[in-house]
Structure 1
Amino acid sequence: MNYIEVSLELDPDFTEILIAELAEIEYESFVETDTGLNAYIDEAYFNENLLKGVLSKYMDQAAIAFSVNTLEKENWNQTWESNYAPIEVLDQIRVRASFHAPDERFRYELQINPKMSFGTGHHETTWLVMAEQLNLPHAGADLMDVGSGTGILGILGKKLGARSVLAFDIEEWAVENAKENVALNQAGEGFEVFLGTISDVPATRQFDGILANINRNILLEQMADYNQHLKAGGWLVISGFYEADAPALKACGEKLGLRQAGMNTRNEWATMTFRK
C-alpha cells in the first residue's frame, strides 16, 4: 500500500475547511506548510476528479494550486513524523507526539496525537493562545473551549490548574481526537468534550475563562454568546484572525461591555484578551 501526498498552495483562511472537506473523501492526515497544506490518502482511495470537485468550490474565492506525489509505504511514517516537529512556546510549553521523547526542561509538556494536523500548535493562532494562557488565572477555574479541535487548549488549561473544561467542536473526528488526547494527557477529570456548537451549551452554564480560536466571522457572530456565558471578572481569549481584523473585534467586544486587556501578534495573525 502506497500513499498519495497532495501538496496544496492556498490562503491559510481556507485550511480548516479544506481539512474537513478532504477528510470526507478518505484523506487521513494533514500537515500545514509555509505555502498551504499537504494532504495524505491511501493510494487505493485517491480520485483526482473528487479532489478537483472539492477544490472547485473555493477557487472562485481564492487561488488554489495542487500537485500530486506518490509515497512508498515504507516511507510513510518517516514522512509524517519528520513533518510533525515538537512545538515550543516561550520556553515553558512543549507540544509533542507520542513518538517524540520527553523533555524535562519544559514546565508544561502536552502529548497531542492528531488525526488531522489542525490544532497541533503549529499554527500561529494556537501558539498565540497558549502563550496568552500562561498569563491568565487558571487555578480552580471553569473553562470553555470553543471549536476545540485536538483539545490542545483545554488540555493546557487543565495543566495550568483549571478545575473543569467544557470543550466542543462541529467535526466528529475532532471530538474523537480530543477525547483521545485528553486521556493521553491524563486530564480527564472534569473534562467534557461534545459534538456541537455554543448554542448547545446550557444558558445557565457560567465560566471563569473562555478560549475561542476560530475565525473572524464566527467570532463576531458569537461574541455576545461568549459574554453571556462569562462570569463577572472572567476572561475571554479570541484568535483565528488577522491583525488587520482586530479593530472590528475590539469594537464588538466593547459594545458588549468587555474591556480589552491585551493583544499579541505573530506573522500577521493575532490574539486578543478581554475582561468582563
Structure 2
Amino acid sequence: MNYTELQLTVSPDFTDILTAELGELGFESFVETDEGLNAYIVEPDFDEPALQELIAKYADQTAIAYEVNSLEKKNWNAEWEKEYEPIEVADQVRVRASFHPVDARFRYDIVINPKMSFGTGHHETTAMMLEHQLGLDFAEKTVLDVGSGTGILAVLAAKMGAQAVVAFDIEEWAVANARENAELNDCPQITVFQGTIDDVDPTNRYDIILANINRNVLLAEIPLYTSLLTTQGHLLVSGFYEADAPDIAQKAIDTGLTTSNTLIRNQWTSLVFDK
C-alpha cells in the first residue's frame, strides 16, 4: 500500500500540536525538519478537505504552508530504523531504540520506541532536561512528569532511583506509548494517566516536577507546579526559546521559587528552580 507524505512548513512552536492534530486525522509517523514537519499516512486514509480545515484553524496564529506527495510502498519500519540514531547525554545517558544494541559505557541505558510521541532526546529541549536531571538526587523521591510524551524523562527519573513517578499527557496515544516505554525499561514505579495538571490530586506533593511543554502552558501552570512541590523541591522546565526565559523565570520567582541552573542550546532554553 502506498503512503502519502505531507510536508508542512511551519514554526517549530507549532510542530508538537500539529503532530497531535494530524494523529487524530490518521497520520501514523512524523519527522521534524528544518522547515517544520513531515507526516505520513496510508494513501486511502488521506483526507485533504480535513487537512485544509486543520490548516485554516491555525492560519491566523502562524504562517503555514503544505505540500502533498505520493510515495511508493516501502518498509517504513526499516526506513525509520535507518534514520533513528542513539543519542548520548553528558557521557552518562544513552537513549536508543529497541533494535539498537546496549552500550555498557553508559550508566543509564534508556530504550525509547517513540511511535507518534514527542521525546526521543534528539530535540534540544529533551536533551537539556535529561542533563538537568543528572544533576539532581532522585533516590527515593516522588516525581511528577507533566506532558510526558514518550515518558523519557520519567524513565530516567525511575532509573535514577525515584520511588514513585506519576506521568500524564493529554493525548491517548502518548499515554499508551509512555506505558510501553516504561515497561520496556522495567520501570514499574511509573504510573501514566491521560489528563492535565487539573487532574492531579492537589493534596499530593512531589520532590521533583518535570515540565517540558511550551511557554504559554508554563506561564499558566507554574503556580500550580509550585503548590505541588515539597519544601526544597525542584522544578525543571523547558520547551521555550531563550528570549522567553526571563518571563518564565519571573513567573517562577513570583511564586516563591529561585533559579538554580540554566542550559541553552540553539536558542532553546531549560531552567531549574528550587523551592
Q: Which residue of 2 aligns with 1:151?
A: 151
Q: Distance in 1 between matches of 2:117 and 2:143?
A: 24
- TM-score using structure 1 length: 0.96
- TM-score using structure 2 length: 0.96
Contact 1:158–1:165 at 8 Å: present in 2 too?
yes
Contact 1:32–1:118 at 8 Å: present in 2 too?
no
Q: What secondary structure, in the 3-state scheme, does the structure 1 residue paired with 2:174 have?
A: helix
Q: Which residue of 2 aligns with 1:67?
A: 67
Listed as ranges, the matches of 1:157-172 within 5 Å are 157-172=157-172
Q: Distance in 2 between matches of 1:163 and 1:41?
A: 40
C-alpha displacement of 1:65: 2.2
Q: What secondary structure, in the 3-state scheme, does the structure 2 residue paired with 1:260 have?
A: strand
Summarize deviations over 1:98-141 as a string: whole Å, max 9, x none: 12222222211111111215111122111110011011111111
Contact 1:151–1:178 at 8 Å: present in 2 too?
yes
Contact 2:117–2:174 at 8 Å: present in 1 too?
no
C-alpha displacement of 1:76: 2.1
Structure 2 counterpart of 1:171, which letter? E
Contact 2:117–2:177 at 8 Å: present in 1 too?
no
Contact 1:207–1:231 at 8 Å: present in 2 too?
yes
Shifted more, 258-267 versus 114-123: the winner is 114-123
C-alpha displacement of 1:242: 0.7
Structure 1 counterpart of 2:136, which letter? L
Q: Distance in 2 between matches of 1:229 and 1:249?
A: 18
Q: What secondary structure, in the 3-state scheme, does the structure 2 residue paired with 1:74 have?
A: coil
Question: Are residues 1:233 and 2:240 paired?
Answer: no
Q: Distance in 1 between matches of 2:173 and 2:100?
A: 23
Q: Distance in 2 between matches of 1:82 and 1:93?
A: 21
Q: Which residue of 2 aligns with 1:198?
A: 197
Q: What secondary structure, in the 3-state scheme, does the structure 1 residue paired with 2:166 have?
A: strand
Mind listing any 5+ residue stretches in structure 2 that lack a counterpart? none
Mind listing any 5+ residue stretches in structure 1 that lack a counterpart? none
Question: Are residues 1:79 and 2:79 paired?
Answer: yes
Q: Taking structure 1 as reference, are residues 200 and 117 closer, same or farther at Cα in structure 2, changes over 3 Å only? A: closer
Q: Distance in 1 between matches of 2:221 and 2:60?
A: 27
Question: Are residues 1:252 and 2:247 paired?
Answer: no
Contact 1:3–1:76 at 8 Å: present in 2 too?
no
Q: Which residue of 1 aligns with 2:264?
A: 265
Q: Distance in 2 between matches of 1:55 and 1:206?
A: 40
Q: Taking structure 1 as reference, are residues 117 and 35 closer, same or farther at Cα in structure 2, changes over 3 Å only? A: farther
Listed as ranges, the matches of 1:119-134 within 5 Å are 119-134=119-134
Q: Distance in 1 between matches of 2:33 and 2:133?
A: 25
Q: Which residue of 2 aligns with 1:243?
A: 242
Contact 2:7–2:38 at 8 Å: present in 1 too?
yes
Moved over 4 A (4+): none
Structure 2 counterpart of 1:182, which letter? A
Question: Are residues 1:142 and 2:142 paired?
Answer: yes
C-alpha displacement of 1:49: 2.4
Give the percent of matched residue pairs that are identical in Structure 1 and Structure 2.
Answer: 56
